Structure formats: structure tokens, C-alpha cells
Amino acid sequence: MAKDKKKKSLRPKAIPPKGFRDYFGTDVAERNVMLSQITEVYHRYGFDALETPAVETVEALGKFLPDVERPNEGVFAWQDDDDAWMALRYDLTAPLARVYSQFRNDLPSPYRRYAMGPVWRNEKPGPGRYRQFYQCDADTIGAPSIAADAEICSMLSDTLEAVGILRGDYLVKVNNRKVLNGVLEATGVSDDIKKANVLRTIDKFDKVGIEGVKQLLGAGRLDASGAYIDGVGLSEMQIAPVLAFLTSKGFDASSTISNLRSAVGNSDIGLQGISELEMIGELMEAGGYGADRVEIDPSVVRGLAYYTGPVYEAELTFEILNEKGQRRQFGSVSGGGRYDDLVKRFTGQEVPATGVSIGVDRLLAALREKGRMNNLVKGPVIVTVMDRDRLADYQQMVSELRNAGIRAEMYMGNPKNFGNQLKYADKRSSPVAVIEGGDEKANGLVQIKDLALGARLSAKIETTEEWKSQPAQIEIKRDSLISEVRKMIARSEDAM
């Protein structure tokens, strides 16, 4: 009788869920450095930190409400034991509205806070688009003054420069939702569905251009695939103010404002929005933020249904190569605006609010593209193990280095092959390796090796004489270990 073959146990696949990724040491360290730089700017502007739970009730999140069986798509949600729906937060603004509504009697008014952390969206992932990503927000709640919006714009400019984006490589672009409402009034469109279609068409301006928008607002157009897309059905007279709005950016702020006035006509809400843009321009000029840093740009139409006043977007203007090797502008890394209706969901009263959100992963990618994060985070000094019987000696050196504020570790692998120890140090991006054999120990000496310099020299130096004149490895007295390691680390940092 044949023996039953034992079924092989299925092993789990060693991959993260679709749309998620792992962050290793350098990724996390670089992010932390950047976030600390952002925090310093936000703190300097007078904003306080706030941390909220990663989980909120679906009711509090508000944008996604539960249907009969489960919440709508867009969030990761589940039903708790008491039948209440819970969800991972999809941004940092909805939790802020809940916090302010809950603690408004105890908080100062206006309330100014910044928050940083991961958010989750149950959306289809794609290249560079993950279901978990970091956001970094700053918001002011309870300030109706347009000065609060202007402050966000100046703070966003200062933040980009603080993390390493040079002036000339970015622009903070400002528009106003009220101006867009004025344009809609000028079209004479009153049907809500048709209004929404007009707004969606305006939002496609960057992709299809002015002629494409004109066709989509009218009868329709053929897309790149040859498929016909039905238009909104506006007349040429109705389309005219929309096109005037989209092409209203002039050679300076005053010409842009003049063109916008023509686009909104006699609309009161549109003219109010233009006045607010003028005020932001005056405040920017008073603060020393010229058009090379902050500018009025009617093409910014983000969050059409969400924002109620000024909107702003930080765009990086330098070019990069895309996946196909084509040059393109890096694009937006941050956006925000005024949202006076969000807190009203909880309190029943309109509460003015304005804020900005920075896409942490995109900003990090931009800094890496510009070479601003290269070698920013160094590995530890590696104390190599030459003699298994003298681990206490090596541990003493590690402790001395750590107590002096120098990142250090003793090699914990198999010390039999010394070359593997140096390979390990290279993988850790270690600046220095410490070497002490029996002879060095007997004579009160130690060898220290500048690993970064060694790599550079091996690539450039061709003769023995050149190598001896710039030694990457030197012998020092044991009692000068701390001072000499510091010098070597400083030399390697200066060479970057």
C-alpha cells in the first residue's frame, strides 16, 4: 500500500500588501531629518503640535459614511463590537475638525496646530502611489482674516527653503475659490449637475489645454484613444468667461487681477475673491515674499468642492526625467486652502479655518532628485573584532564613543574573516572603522580607517606615492581615540 504523501505546508509570501511598502533605516532617518526641519519652521510661526489617533469613527471622518453593510470605498473601515463603524484616517484635517469641536471651549481661539503622520486611503495603487503615506499639516482654526491665509503661504515658502529647495526651484501659487464661483455665475449656469461638470472640466486644464477645455465645455472632443467624450453643452457665450479665467495670468500680479475682474464681470462673490487675492499680495509684499516665491495663479483649482476661499499649491519648477526618459517638471508637493464649512458638521456653526498639507514622500523624492539628501545620514563607527578573547576591550571603546555622542557599534557577526567586517561597515555607510590587534593593544595604539576617503582614493589614486601622501588609515594613540575619530568624521563630511 502506497504511503500517503504528506502535504507540504503552504508558506506565506514574503511581500507587503498591495499598495504598501517598507521603509528602511536611511528612508526613515532622512524623513525624520526633513520633518524636524519642517517642525522648526512651524514652531517658529507659533503653531503647536497635535497628535490624533490613527483610527476615527466613520461618522467623525464624515467624507465617507456607512451604507447598509459597510462604508463607501476610499477608507479602510471595519465594524466594532458595538456595531459602530471605525476607519483609518484618510487625512489629518478631518481629525482636527473633530478635536476642535470636542475641545473648543478649552483651546485658544484661533487655534493653530501642526500634525505629522501616516494616513491611509483605500484606493487603487499605482507607480509612486501608495495606500499608506505621510502627511505634514499646519492649520489655523477660528481666524476669519485673510492674513491667516497669507501666513500659510509665507510659511510654506520658508519651509521649502528650510528643507533644501532653493529659491527659483519652487513657486507657491495662490488662487481663490470665490473667483471660480464668480466665473460660474458669469456663465449663467444654475443647474448643480452642470456646475459640477464645468468644475471638473476646468480641473482638466493642465492635461488638455485651453482648446481641449473649450471643446469639453461645448459639444465634446475626441480623446487620445479616439473615443468621443461628451461635452457639458455650454454655448460660446457661456464658455467665454471660463476661458477668460483660465488664461487670465498676466506678466505681473496687477495684470492678472485686471484680467480676473474681466472674467467674473459683476459677480459679487467673484469680486470678493479678487479683493482677497489683492490683500494676500499686499501682505506677501510687506513680508518680503516677491513673485519669485509666491504668485497669483488662476490655474490652481484644487479641491473644488472642499475649499471656500483662498487655495494655494507649492510647485517645484525644476525638471526631472520620467520613466520614459522624457523631461518634465517635478510638479506639486503641497497644497491647501480655506475650508470654513468643515467644523460646522459638528457644531452647527460656521468656523473659519485655513491650512496646508505637505506630501512628505513627494518632497523627499524631490530632495533626493536634487542631491540634497545624499549621504545626509551616516552609519555608525564600526569597532572591528580582531581577537574574540578581547570583546571587553572593544566594548569599552564602543562605550567611550557613544558617551562622547558618536554613533558606534561593535561588529557582532563572525569575526573570522576581517574583510567581511569592512564589507559590513561599507553596507552600513560607516564613516570610520576602528581596528585594534594584539600588537596595537600591547603598545597602546589603535588603527582608524576613513572608509569614505578610502573609497574615493581607490577610485582616483594611481600610484603608491599618491596613496602614502593621503592615507585613509592611520595609527593613533589609544587615549586619543575620541578626538581623532571626530577629526576623521569631520574630514569626511567636509569632502561631501
| DSSP string over 76-130 | -EEE-TTS-EEEE-S-SHHHHHHHHHHHTTTS-SSEEEEEEEEEE-BS--BTTB-
In a domain, 9, yes or no: no
Q: Which three cell numbers stand for residue 229?
A: 467624450
At position 35, the amino acid (one-letter code) is L
364 and 275 fall within a common domain: yes
Helix, strand, coil shares, percent, the chain, to 5: 40, 20, 35
CATH of the domain at 446: 3.40.50.800
Residue 140, phi then psi, degrees to nearest 5: -120, 120
| DSSP string over 23-59 | --HHHHHHHHHHHHHHHHHHHHTTPEE----SEEEHH
397 and 486 fall within a common domain: yes
Q: From CA 310, how far away is CA 354, in angstroms rounded?
A: 9
Contact 214/243 with Cβ under 8 angstroms? yes
390 and 360 fall within a common domain: no
**For the ranges 117-121, 169-173, 375-379, 463-467, which has the lowest average pLDDT?**
463-467
pLDDT 10s digits, 236-281: 998 988 888 888 988 888 899 999 998 888 899 999 999 999 999 9
138 and 242 fall within a common domain: yes
CATH of the domain at 269: 3.30.930.10
Let me know the angle formed at the C-alpha of 354 by 352 and 359, rounded to the nearest 5 degrees. Answer: 155
Q: Give the pLDDT band (50/70/90) at residue 468.
A: very low
pLDDT value, residue 405: 95
At position 62, the amino acid (one-letter code) is G
Q: Is the N-terminal amide bond of 110 cis, ω within 30° of 0?
A: yes
Q: Which three cell numbers stand for residue 115?
A: 500634525
In a domain, 412, yes or no: yes
Answer with the one of 320, 340, 369 that is the final residue of a domain. Answer: 369
- Indicate the pairing of strand 381-383 with strand 408-410: parallel
Q: From CA 214, how far away is CA 237, in angstroms rounded?
A: 11
145 and 42 fall within a common domain: yes
In a domain, 421, yes or no: yes
Answer with the one of 322, 343, 369 that is the final residue of a domain. Answer: 369
Answer with the one of 369, 399, 423 that is the final residue of a domain. Answer: 369
In a domain, 462, yes or no: yes
pLDDT 10s digits, 241-251: 888 888 898 88
Q: From CA 90, how far away is CA 75, in angstroms rounded?
A: 6
pLDDT value, residue 170: 95
Residue 2, phi then psi, degrees to nearest 5: -70, 140
Contact 112/118 with Cβ under 8 angstroms? no
334 and 397 fall within a common domain: no
Measure Cα distances from 467 to 432, 450, 494 in Å: 18, 13, 20
Q: Which of 133, 113, 114, 115 is nearest to 123 (CA)?
A: 133
Indicate the helix (H) or strand (E) that contains 261: helix 253-264
403 and 362 fall within a common domain: no
- Name the residue range of residue 172's domain: 25-54+89-189+234-369
In a domain, 78, yes or no: no
35 and 130 fall within a common domain: yes
The arithmetic mean of pLDDT across residues 189-198, rounded, is: 82
421 and 472 fall within a common domain: yes
In a domain, 7, yes or no: no
pLDDT 10s digits, 405-455: 999 999 999 988 888 999 999 899 899 999 999 999 999 999 999 987 765
Name residue 446's beta-bridge partners: 476
Contact 248/259 with Cβ under 8 angstroms? yes
Q: Give the pLDDT band (50/70/90) at residue 464.
A: very low
Q: For the stretch 386-413, what's the b/e string if a residue is b when 16 or more beta carbons lie within 10 angstroms of its beta carbon?
A: beeeeeeebeebbeebeeeebebbbbee
The count of structural domains within the chain is: 2
Contact 194/217 with Cβ under 8 angstroms? no
- Indicate the pairing of strand 228-230 with strand 220-222: antiparallel
In a domain, 207, yes or no: no
The three-state (H, E, C) secondary structure of 308-347, written as one string: CCEEEEEEEEEEEECCCCCEEEEEEEEEEEECCCCCHHHH
- Indicate the pairing of strand 445-450 with strand 432-435: antiparallel
In a domain, 212, yes or no: no
93 and 178 fall within a common domain: yes
387 and 360 fall within a common domain: no
140 and 285 fall within a common domain: yes
pLDDT 10s digits, 39-57: 999 999 999 999 999 999 9
